[in-house]
Structure 1
Amino acid sequence: MRTQLAILVENVPDALNYGGHNVIAEMAEALTALGYRARYTLINAAFHGVPQMRDRAFLIALHNDLDVDVIFPRASHHMSLPPGYSGTRSVALKNIDLFDGGLFVPSDYGSSRLPGPVTCEEALGDLPRITLHLEGGLRRGARRLDQFVEYPPQDRRRLGGYAKLMRNWPGFENASGIWDHVIRCLPRDADTFREMPNGAEYPQAHATAVAIWQRRMRKLENRQGEKLSEKERESLKRSIVPPYPLNSFPNRWWKLRPDFPSRTLMAHMGKDTYSHIHYDSSQARVVSVREAARLQSFPDGFRFCGTMNPAYRQIGNAVPPLLAKKLADCLMQAIALSLAASKALTAA
Structure 2
Amino acid sequence: MKTKYNIMDLFAGCGGLLDGFLQTEKYNDVASVEWLKPQVNTLRNRLKTRWNVKDADKRVLHFDMQREDELFNGWDNDEVYGSSKGLDHFVNKVKGIDIIIGGPPCQAYSTAGRVRDEKGMKEDYRNYLFEHYLSVVNRYRPKMFVFENVPGMLSAVPDGTPITKLIKDGFESIGYEIIDDIKKYAKINASDFGVPQARKRLIILGIRKELSGNAQELLRHFYEVILPKYESKERVSVKQAIGNLPKYIPILDEESHKKRLAYRVDDTNTNTNIKTTWLEPRYHSLRDMGIFEMLAADLESKECKYTDSKALSKVYEEKVGSKSPIHRYHVLRPDEPSTTIIAHLYKDGNRFIHYESKQKRTITPREAARLQSFEDGFDFLGSRGSVYQMIGNAVPPLLAKMVALAVADLLDEIMKNDR
Task: State the TM bucket, normalised to the shorter chain.
Answer: 0.5 to 0.7
TM-score by length of 2: 0.53
Aligned length: 249
What SS does structure 1 have at the residue aligned with 2:248?
coil
Measured after TM superposition, the shift of residue 64 of structure 1 is 2.6
Rounded Cα–Cα distance in structure 1 between residues aligned with 2:246 and 2:145: 40
Partner of 2:144: 6
Partner of 1:305: 381
Pair 1:271 & 2:347 matched = yes
Do the aligned residues in 1 keep the contact of 2:246 with 2:271 (CA within 8 Å)?
no
Pair 1:48 & 2:193 matched = yes
Measured after TM superposition, the shift of residue 288 of structure 1 is 0.3
Measured after TM superposition, the shift of residue 338 of structure 1 is 1.9
Large movers: runs of 4+ above 6 Å: none
Partner of 2:325: 248
Unmatched runs of 5 consecutive residues or more in structure 1: 78-113, 142-146, 155-174, 211-236, 344-348
Distance 1:34 1:207, change over 3 A: closer
Partner of 1:314: 390
Pair 1:325 & 2:401 matched = yes
Rounded Cα–Cα distance in structure 1 between residues aligned with 2:275 and 2:253: 23
Pair 1:27 & 2:167 matched = yes
Partner of 1:170: none
Rounded Cα–Cα distance in structure 1 between residues aligned with 2:316 and 2:393: 31
TM-score by length of 1: 0.63
Rounded Cα–Cα distance in structure 2 between residues aligned with 1:150 and 1:42: 44
**1:160-239 aligned within 5 A:** 176-187=274-285, 188-196=287-295, 197-198=298-299, 200=307, 203-205=310-312
Measured after TM superposition, the shift of residue 179 of structure 1 is 0.6
Rounded Cα–Cα distance in structure 2 between residues aligned with 1:63 and 1:151: 54
Rounded Cα–Cα distance in structure 1 between residues aligned with 2:357 and 2:268: 22
Rounded Cα–Cα distance in structure 2 between residues aligned with 1:298 and 1:127: 14
Unmatched runs of 5 consecutive residues or more in structure 2: 1-138
Residue identity over aligned pairs, in percent, reads 30
Distance 1:176 1:125, change over 3 A: closer
More strand by share: 2
Partner of 1:76: 231
| RCO comparison, higher one (Cα < 8 Å, 6+) | 1
Partner of 1:16: 154
Distance 1:153 1:276, change over 3 A: closer
Q: Alignment RMSD, CA only?
A: 3.0
Pair 1:292 & 2:368 matched = yes
What SS does structure 1 have at the residue aligned with 2:188?
strand
Q: Compare CA radii of gyration and give the structure with the larger one.
A: 1
Do the aligned residues in 2 keep the contact of 1:297 with 1:322 (CA within 8 Å)?
yes
Structure 1 residue aligned with 2:207, among 56, 62, 66? 62
